Structure 1
Amino acid sequence: MALLAAFLGWMFDGFEMGLFPLIGPDALKDLLVNTVAPEDMAKTVSSWFTVIIATFLVGAATGGVFFGWLGDRIGRVRAMTFSIFTYAIFTGLCGFATEAWQIALLRFVASLGMGGEWALGVALVNELWTKGSRAWVAGAIGAAANIGYLLVALLSLGMSAFIGTITGWSTALGASDDLNKYLFDHGAWRFLMISGAFPAILIFLIRIFVPESDKWEEEKKAGSTSFWSTPDLLGVLFGATVALFMIYAWSPMGFDATWATIVTITGFGMVIWGFLLPVRRYLHRAASAGTMTHDTRITIRKNLLIGATLAGIALLGTWGAAQHAPKWSGSLNLHGTSPVEVKAYTQLATAFGACVITLLTPVLADILNRRLTYLLCCILAMASSITFFQTNTEIGTWFFISAFLMGGLTASFYGFFPLYLPELFPTAVRATGQGFCFNVGRIIAAVGGLQFANLEKGFGGAVNAYTILCSVYIVGMVLVWFAPETKGKKLV
C-alpha cells in the first residue's frame, strides 16, 4: 500500500508537471488578451511562461526541504497527505485565475507539494520495504512521474475529441452555454486545471490504508524527532525568497547580465545556507544531547552537499535540454505534420523511454555499484542528448528512436536516486536529506534554464545551446568518485 501510494502520488505529480507546458500558452493568452497588444502577445506569453516554469522549480526545491522536514518531525504518512493536498488543491485553484500573476503564485504553492511528495514517498517505501529487492521498488517510483508525462502526451493527441466529449457531457447535465464557454474554451485549460484537484482523493486512501514507517516510529520513541524546531524553518523561507529574487534578476523585468550573475553567485550561497539551517541545527542539538557522534554529523553534512550536486547535474541536464525536446521538435522539417501532433509524439517517445530505463537503472546499480552506475548514466545521457540535438533536422524514424533513447537515458537518474539517496542518510534525517538533495538542484536548473537565450545567442543557435547545457554531465563524471559507495549497506 505504501508503494502504491508513493507511485500514484508521484505519477499524478508528473502529470501535473507535464500539464502546464501543454495548456500554459492557451491559459496565458486567455488571461492577457485584454491587457497586451496583439503584436506583443507572443513575446509576453513566452516571458510569463519562462518565469512560471522557473518559479515552479524554486517552489519544488523549497517544498522538498519543507515537507522533508515535516516528514522527519511528524511522520512520513501524515506529511505525505499534506504534500498531496497542497499540490492537488492549488493546481485546481489555478482554474479560477483571472491574472497571469495568480497562475504564477498558485503554481508556486502547488509546487511546494510536488517537491515534497517525492522525498516522503521514497523515504516511506524504502523504510517499509524490507523484503525483496529495493532496486525494483526504486525503479517503479522513478517510472511513476514519467507515466504521468506519458498520460499528458496522450491527452494532447486526443485533446479535441476529449474537449468535445466532456462538453457534450456537461451540456447533457444541464450546464449553461456560459459555463461551458468558461470551462472549455481556449484549450479547456480551466477545466484541466480544476481537474488537477482529483489526486486529493488519495489523501483518504493513504490515511486509511498506508502504515507509518516503523523505522520512523522507533526514532520517535527514542526522542530523536524532538530535536527538530519550527523556528528553523525561517531559514527555508529566507532561502526561497533569495531564490525567487535570483529568478527575478534573470527575468525580462530584472537586471543586466553582469548584475544578475553577481546576484546568482551570492544568492545561491544564501539559498544553501537557508535550506540547510533546519538540518544543521538538528544535528547540533542531537550531538549536544549525545545521541549522535561527531563523525556521523560530519558525514551527513558531506552527503548533503554531494547528493545535492549529483542531483543538480541530472536536473539541469533534464530541465535545461531534454525537457525542451517537444518544443524544439516544432522547429524542424515536419513534412506537413501538425506541430501539435509532433510535439505530442515527441513527448510520448521521451516519456516511454524514461519509463523503461528508469525501471532498469537501479537494477544495474545493484549488479555493478552506485558510483559506476552514476558514471554510466552521465556518459550515456550526454551522448544521447548531444546525438539527438545534433543529428536531427527533420521528423522521421531516427528522430523518434533518438528521442526514445535521450528521454530514457537522461531520466535514468530518477530510477537511481530513489535507491541511492536513502542510503546516504539515517532514518532521523532521511526525508529532509533526500528532499534537500533531490530538489535543491531544481534551483540550479531554474537559473540554468533562464540562460538559454544567452547561450543560443552566444553559441549560434538552439542546437549548440542545448549541446552546451548537456555538457554539464561531465562534472558528474568527476564528482561521483568523491561520493560514498553504499552498495550492500543496510538502511540505518
Structure 2
Amino acid sequence: MSTTQTPHATQGEQPEDTGAFAWLRALGPRGRRAFGGAFGGYALDSYDFFTLPLSMVAISAYFSLTSGQTGLLTTVTLVVSALGGVLAGILADRIGRVKALMITVVTYALFTVLCGFAPNYETLLVFRALQGVGFGGEWAVGAILVAEYASAKHRGRTLGGIQSAWAAGWALAVIVYTLVFHFLDPDTAWRVMFWTGALPALLVIWIRRNVEDAPHVAQVREAS
C-alpha cells in the first residue's frame, strides 16, 4: 500500500512565513527602515504632546491660570492637528512622503521647544497650537509612508505596530518628567520638559539618511 503526503509547498517554492513578526519581515529592508522612521516619529510625537499635560500643574501655578485656560491649552493641539493632517497630506503628494515626514517632525519639535521659552500664557497657547500642525501632520504622513510598503495581507498589523508607538512615547515622557521634576524646581522643570522636545531632531537626521518613499509611489509622482 502506498501513501501520499501533500507538501506544504511545491518544489522550488519557499514556505509561507507565518511567524509572529512575518508582517515586519515582509516589509523588506526599505520598508523596515520606513517603519522605524514612522514609529520613531510617532513615539516622539506622543512624547512632545504629553510634555504639556504632565507639566500642567507647574505651568498653571507659574502663570496663575484658570481652569478654562488650562483646558484650552490641553485641547488646542488636538483641534489644530486636524488642519495639520490635511496640510501634510497635500504636501506628501507634492514633495514625497519622507520629505513631508521630516517637515512635520521638525515642526512639532520646534514649537515644543519654543513652548519652553514662552514668557506668558498667550505665547504658550500660540506655540502649542502651532505644535498641533506638526502633530497631526506626522500622524498622517507616517502611516501613509508605511502603508505603501506593506502588503494588503499584513497592512493591518503593520499600521497597528505604528500605533503602538504612542504608548512608547508616553512612557518615555513619564520617565523624563519624573527625573526632571525630581531634580529641578517646578518653575524651571516645566521649561526643561519642553526643551527636551528637541529630541526628534536626531530622528530627522536618521530619516534623511536611511528612509525613502516606496519605489512605485515615487515613480507615479515623478511621472505626473
Shorter-chain TM band = 0.7 to 0.9
1:73-84 equivalent positions in 2, closer than 5 A: 73-84=94-105
Per the TM alignment, residue 221 of structure 1 is displaced from its structure 2 partner at its CA by 3.1
Q: State the partner residue of 2:44.
A: 12
Q: State the partner residue of 2:87.
A: 66
Structure 2 residue 155 is the aligned partner of structure 1 residue 134: yes
Structure 2 residue 117 is the aligned partner of structure 1 residue 99: no
CA RMSD in angstroms, aligned pairs only: 2.0
Aligned-partner Cα distance in 2 for 1:92–1:45: 24
Q: 1:105 to 1:10 in 2, by over 3 A?
A: same
Structure 2 residue 60 is the aligned partner of structure 1 residue 28: yes
**Contact 1:26-1:187 at 8 Å conserved across structures:** no
1:253-332 equivalent positions in 2, closer than 5 A: none
Structure 2 residue 143 is the aligned partner of structure 1 residue 111: no
What residue ranges of structure 1 are gaps of 5+ in the alignment?
33-43, 165-183, 224-492
1:264-413 equivalent positions in 2, closer than 5 A: none
What is the SS of the residue equivalent to 1:8? helix
Aligned-partner Cα distance in 1 for 2:222–2:173: 43
Q: 1:195 to 1:121 in 2, by over 3 A?
A: same
Q: State the partner residue of 1:347.
A: none
Per the TM alignment, residue 188 of structure 1 is displaced from its structure 2 partner at its CA by 0.1
Per the TM alignment, residue 101 of structure 1 is displaced from its structure 2 partner at its CA by 0.8
Aligned-partner Cα distance in 1 for 2:128–2:198: 13
What is the SS of the residue equivalent to 1:91? helix
1:195-214 equivalent positions in 2, closer than 5 A: 195-214=196-215
Q: Given residue 130 of structure 2, which amino acid in structure 1 is its aligned partner?
A: V
**Cα-to-partner distance string for 1:54-84 (whole Å, 9 max, x where unaligned):** 2212211110101111001110000111000
Q: Given residue 48 of structure 2, which amino acid in structure 1 is its aligned partner?
A: E
Aligned counterpart for 1:3 among listed residues 35, 40, 47: 35
Bigger RCO of structures 1 and 2 (CA < 8 A, at least 6 apart) = 2
Q: 1:124 to 1:75 in 2, by over 3 A?
A: same
**Cα-to-partner distance string for 1:114-138 (whole Å, 9 max, x where unaligned):** 1000111111111123497223311
**Contact 2:80-2:129 at 8 Å conserved across structures:** yes
Aligned-partner Cα distance in 2 for 1:151–1:198: 12
| TM-score under structure 2 length normalisation | 0.79
What residue ranges of structure 2 are gaps of 5+ in the alignment?
1-32
Percent identity of paired positions between Structure 1 and Structure 2: 32
Q: State the partner residue of 2:17.
A: none
| TM-score under structure 1 length normalisation | 0.37
Q: 1:108 to 1:100 in 2, by over 3 A?
A: same
Give 4+ residue runs of structure 1 displaced > 6 Å after superposition: none
Q: 1:193 to 1:160 in 2, by over 3 A?
A: closer
Aligned residues: 192
